[in-house]
Structure 1
Amino acid sequence: MKSPYSRAYVAKRLFRLRESGVKYISKKELVKYFKKQNPKISDSTIRRRIYDLKKSGVITNSGRGQYLIENRPSFLPPDSAFLKKVVKSLTKRFPYLSNYCIWETKWLSEFTVHQASLPLVILEVERDTEESVFNFLKESYNNIFLKPGIKEVEKYFAFNEKNIVVIPLISQSPISKIGNIKIPKTEKILVDLFCEKNLFIAYQGQELINIYKNVIKKYAFNRTTFWSYAKRRKRYNQIRRFILENHIEGFMEEEN
């Protein structure tokens, strides 16, 4: 008979919970379960058992002290020679520039119904460096814009060509690193799509709903990171209303 706190036994219990409609479990609940089975179990052993459950794909981080009872991969964007080239030239010219991130809106294509004909490369750099970065890149690239407004987006952005947009990076933005390139985390992209309606005009309305629903359905997603950044951008209430009004599941931290 398997131990009641072995990984296989706990996994079986968790899968039964999932089948009954429970999607999330808290760290407190897992700790309570392990201590009920063995009151003398150490905190380090509990941490190791929770780590094993995550590593084996039984649970996935979904926020501070919260886990999704399901194996979800992290979103991994397609490799881009263009982004690598931009970052290589940028870091060579500005070796002190450590706070930045870069991404392409074509990453969103797997989450949308229609394919946008206005491809953007978003380069966010530390505040007060954006003009220097813009002037440097302007020597090598066409269709590059510094903090564009709605008039520039509508009048000057090129269809079916890469448009490079240089904007200041919001401090404490959720960023990850793939190879030598710093990219925004999925949580940041979703908040920014909501906040920058003029820049991301092609991804508003139903497409924004599609993106939110498909991201949360397919990939690992940290709700704490998402809401912390939404608060950082002072859009918590607006985004919460958008999610509730459109019945988008999986974002609210009180969900279980």
Structure 2
Amino acid sequence: MSNKTTTSILEYAEVHRDFSMDDLFAYLHEKVGISKSSLSWYLFKLVNENALVRTGRGMYAKVMKQPFVPKLIGEVREIYDSLLVNFPFAKFCVYQGDIIAPLQHHLSSNRVVYVETDRDSAETVFNFLKDGNRDVYLRPDKDMIYRYVDMDSRVFFVKNLVSEAPLQKVSDVPMPTLEKLLVDILRDADFFYLQGSESEHIFENAFNLYAVNRNRLFRYAGRRKAKEEILSILENLNIK
């Protein structure tokens, strides 16, 4: 993207806290001679980069909320480094359950380390982690967790990584974006304790506290068949 055009858009957004594409176009067309199609592309990119947020049809605002950046603990770093050495061609997403805590209404302990990887690699990764004398579970469901898992202890869940899941690098470790986490909480069996009314509180806290990329959220939700459910949650919470 042109630095001059991007800077001009962000400067306009700084002064006009909530603005329409038409007003922005009138301002920029005179200043840099931009076309409407080019402006649409710039706005699309800036929304995807969490620099701007859509506030309505053809309406935008500068993002004032903080991005969601999960905390990286040493154990997750060590596990990922070990996996990277032993499975250099597999894809991973590794994080600890504590990162969900800021989103929760009723705080529940979760010290699980989640290791998500390609479907074809999951069982091999599970066996590798188990050989290291770790307490590991492969794709655990609600019944397995009820019977055998202490979520307050350091256990490991190995799960399938959905293709094209939105990830972010935290000190080079692939971890979930907020949008991925929100969808997974609705869809994954091991997050059963966060589903129902608690998931609504989680969405409310997520949108109140952090910058949420709606395009990324709905794209991933579409892959997991959760888009309609999320739209319903946002409507119930009156989140525009």
Q: CA deviation at 1:115?
A: 2.3
Which structure shows the bigger proportion of residues in helix conformation?
2
Whole-Å Cα distance in 1 between the matches of residues 59 and 84 of structure 2? 37
Whole-Å Cα distance in 2 between the matches of residues 160 and 6 of structure 1? 47
Whole-Å Cα distance in 1 between the matches of residues 9 and 161 of structure 2? 45
- The percentage of counterpart residues that share the same residue type is 26
Distance 1:157 1:220, change over 3 A: same
- Correspondence list, 1:1-256, <5 A: 11-12=14-15, 14-15=16-17, 17=18, 25=19, 30-35=24-29, 38=30, 41-42=33-34, 60-62=51-53, 67-97=60-90, 99-196=91-188, 198-244=189-235, 246-249=236-239, 255=240
Q: TM-score when scaled to structure 1?
A: 0.76
Q: Contact between 1:118 and 1:157, CA under 8 Å: does it hold in 2?
A: no
Whole-Å Cα distance in 2 between the matches of residues 34 and 86 of structure 1? 49
Q: Which runs of 5+ in 2 are unaligned?
A: 1-7
Show CA shifts across 1:118-159 (max 9, x none).
432221101200000000011124321101122111111114
Equivalent residue number for residue 21 of structure 1: none
Distance 1:28 1:125, change over 3 A: farther
Whole-Å Cα distance in 1 between the matches of residues 22 and 92 of structure 2? 36
Q: Contact between 1:119 and 1:161, CA under 8 Å: does it hold in 2?
A: yes
Return the index of the structure with the highest Cα Rg.
Answer: 1
Q: Contact between 2:138 and 2:158, CA under 8 Å: does it hold in 1?
A: yes
Q: Which runs of 5+ in 1 are unaligned?
A: 18-24, 250-254
Which stretch shifts more, 83-92 or 109-118?
109-118
Distance 1:210 1:10, change over 3 A: closer
Q: TM-score when scaled to structure 2?
A: 0.80
Letter in 2 for 1:69: K
